Amino acid sequence: MSLPQRTLGRTGHSATILGLGGEGVLRTFGYDHQAEAVIRAALEAGINYFESARAYSGSEAYLGRSLKGHRDKVFLTSKTHGRTFNEAMAHLTITLKNLNTDYLDLWQIHDLRTMDEVGALGGPSGALEALHYARERGWVRFIGVTGHQDPEVLRRALETYEFDTVLMPMNPAEPHFASFVPVAQEAMAKGMGVIGMKVLCRGQLPQLAEEPEKVVRELVAYALSQPVSLAVVGADSAQQVQELAAAARDFVPMTIEEQRRLEEAVAPMARQLMYYKP
């Protein structure tokens, strides 16, 4: 059975509502067989969006090896945590080699944290210059930005520069403190592709639940009921990929009342769930 798809904003790509994230077993070195099993399970489930980052240990190399023969069927992304033109371009050289490809579908500025970083992006020899340079030469098709610490920093980046996509946290803890949801709404209004992450809160809620698979389904449904094009989730095993794919395949939008009940249920531990914020 195929996964539902949504258009990834102005990229025009029809993305499966579940993407394979670069966390989990992919953010390791030396787990080749396990990583291959996860990627193979994602392909078998029909996932067509694969994410990585230069900072994610061996994830790019895992994907480069396991996606051979599938490159034209997937939307392949990575990120640079470089903040200058030279740093970002050096990362891109390694990324393309590791991923065994001539181009990225999407290249993203990774993890913006401060207003100073936002300002420096567009300055002389800033990383944004590298994204534009690479896009002009066909080494990347689209450019994006990510952040998970401060929604105001991400909002400033979207107001200051033109990006095709944005990646941000999307889970029921978010409304309780410095929520990224309004930024997602604004990005969607601009025609951007919006990608949700931190969907499972690093697995904290499923690990505490008597029925972890049910909680996974609820968290995936919650994220996909927000203003997003898709949600990316990492996995440690092929079984986890299959469970995530089943949740996406059976997705029914949550009502506002259902969303509020879930938000209220996690309220006592919301700050702990948002481990990614200072």
Domain count, the chain: 1
Q: Distance (Å, rounded) from C-alpha 88 to C-alpha 92?
A: 6
Model pLDDT for residues 153-203, shown as the tens digit of each residue: 999 999 999 999 999 999 999 999 999 999 999 999 999 999 999 999 999
81 domain residue, yes or no: yes
What's the one-letter identity of residue 42?
Answer: A
106, 165 contact by CB (below 8 A): yes
188 domain residue, yes or no: yes
134 domain residue, yes or no: yes
243, 213 contact by CB (below 8 A): yes
98 domain residue, yes or no: yes
On the question of pLDDT at 246 being above 80, the answer is yes
184, 231 contact by CB (below 8 A): no
26: domain range?
A: 5-273
With cut-offs at 50, 70 and 90, classify the pLDDT of residue 207: confident
The CATH number of whichever domain residue 109 belongs to comes to 3.20.20.100
CA distances from 132 to 13, 111, 212 (A): 20, 18, 43
The residue-averaged pLDDT of 39-51 equals 98
The residue-averaged pLDDT of 263-272 equals 96
Residues 6 or more apart in contact with residue 188 via CB below 8 angstroms: 9, 194, 227
Select from 244, 238, 235 the least CA-distant residue to 213: 244
On the question of pLDDT at 69 being above 80, the answer is yes
Assign residue 68 a region (left: φ > 0; alpha: ψ between -120 and 50; beta: otherwise): beta
On the question of pLDDT at 1 being above 70, the answer is no
Q: Distance (Å, rounded) from C-alpha 212 to C-alpha 31?
A: 25
40 domain residue, yes or no: yes
For 58, how many CA atoms within 13 A lie in the half-sphere containing its CB? 14
Mean pLDDT of the chain: 97
With cut-offs at 50, 70 and 90, classify the pLDDT of residue 84: very high
On the question of pLDDT at 208 being above 80, the answer is no
3-state SS string over the chain? Answer: CCCCEEECHHHCCEEECEEEEEEECCCCCCCHHHHHHHHHHHHHHCCCEEECCCCCCCHHHHHHHHCCCCHHHCEEEEEECCCEHHHHHHHHHHHHHHCCCCCEEEEEECCCCCHHHHHHHCCCCEHHHHHHHHHHCCCEEEEEEECCCCHHHHHHHHHHCCCCEEEEECCCCHHHCCCCHHHHHHHHHCCCEEEEECCCHHHHHHHHCCCHHHHHHHHHHHHHCCCCCEEEEEECCHHHHHHHHHHHHCCCCCCHHHHHHHHHHHHHHHHHHCCCCC
Residue carrying structure tokens 């520069």: 161
278 domain residue, yes or no: no
The residue-averaged pLDDT of 116-135 equals 97
With cut-offs at 50, 70 and 90, classify the pLDDT of residue 81: very high
pLDDT given for residue 209 in this prediction = 78
224 domain residue, yes or no: yes
φ and ψ of 173, to 5 deg: -80, -25
Is the whole model's pTM more than 0.95, yes or no? yes
With cut-offs at 50, 70 and 90, classify the pLDDT of residue 210: confident
203 domain residue, yes or no: yes
pLDDT given for residue 119 in this prediction = 97
